[in-house]
Amino acid sequence: MHVMDMFSLKGKVALVTGGAGNYGSQMVEALAEAGATVWTASRTLEKNQVFAASLREKGYDVHAASYDQMDEQSIQALFDTIIAKHGHVDILVNNSVTRQGKGYYKSAEDLNRGFAGNATGLIIITRIFADHMAERGSGSIINIGSYMGMLGCNETLYEGCPHISSIGAADYFFHKGGMHNLTRFMASRYGPKGVRCNCLSLGGLFNNQPEPFLEAYAKATFLGRLAGPEDVKGIIVYLASDASSYMTGAVIPVDGGYSAK
């Protein structure tokens, strides 16, 4: 196979959860540009519909749906909808995340709701789609993690802008650390069935943060900048495609070199 053909996703069906968000949108766009039929889904249907329509106007095959990752029946219904229309799913990008409450002293209710989506729900959606892929003998699961699943909180990044600090996000650090190890578990379980599972440990994603944070994070990277609107596209297509056919169980930092310092 020609090396460029390895990156083609023609004939593949993909789901990106949280696909209409700031960085989920470039993941959806990248998979569609590589030839895949792509679904984007989250709790807010309208936002996904508007985004999907904008990509269809460009000639891409993109669909929208809604689901609640805290609800197993909702996850199953989303899977059933995609299967009813296409008959198969080849790629799952676990990008959805829920943040409940603020600060370190969150209520037990908020903590449990966060776990319902970011832990229990993550396992359930991965299990449902991975079982289907295993029956077909192939598939790629891409978990969207964070450097916060690998490292502790660096408060120096938030000097001058404490309102965006992650110091109180104990549950988020826990969820992302768990996602990284869940990636390895799923890779071991489904690898013999031809299903791969990898994780991107993202960091430094530009999202109109205050200038002090932008300057501090840029200095903390090797590249001297934050990630922009196309910096995740290539690695998503790589992990979704046959170009990465011998890669599974990997947690890959995509953070401008921040975690390597």
Q: What is residue 131's three-state secondary structure?
A: helix
Residues of the domain holding 120: 3-255
Does 38 map to a domain?
Answer: yes
Residue 78 has pLDDT above 80, yes or no: yes
Distance of alpha carbon 63 from alpha carbon 38, whole angstroms: 6
Q: How do residues 105-145 score in pLDDT, each as one tens digit?
A: 999 999 999 999 999 999 999 999 999 999 999 999 999 99
Residues 51-61: tens digit of each pLDDT: 999 999 999 99
**Whether pLDDT at 75 is above 90:** yes
Closest by Cα among 206, 11, 32, 149 to 90: 11
pLDDT band at 165 (very low <50, low <70, confident <90, very high): confident
| Amino acid identity for residue 183 in this structure | T
Give buried/exposed letters for 198-221 (b at 16+ CB in 10 A, else e). Answer: bbbbbbbbbeebeeebbebbbebb
Which of 251, 221, 230 lies closest to 143 in space, CA to CA? 251
Confidence of residue 245 (pLDDT cuts 50, 70, 90): very high
Q: What are the tokens at 42?
A: 């989250």
How long a stretch of residues is the chain? 261
User: Would you say residue 82 lies in a domain?
Assistant: yes
pLDDT band for 196, please (50, 70, 90 cuts): very high
pLDDT given at position 164: 77
Give the pLDDT confidence score for residue 252 in this predicted structure: 98
**In-domain check, residue 169:** yes
Range 75-85 average pLDDT: 98
Predicted confidence (pLDDT) at residue 91 exceeds the cutoff of 80: yes
Average pLDDT for residues 218-236, to the nearest whole number? 96
**Which pLDDT belongs to residue 115?**
95
Which pLDDT does position 100 carry in this prediction? 81
**260 within some domain:** no
Number of domains present in the structure of the chain:
1
Burial 107-138 (b: 16+ CB within 10 A, else e): eeebeebbbbbbbebbebbbebbbebbbeeee
Using an 8 Å Cβ cutoff, are 240 and 140 in contact? Answer: yes
Query: DSSP state, 168?
Result: T
Please indicate, yes or no, if residue 173 is contained in any of the structural domains. Answer: yes
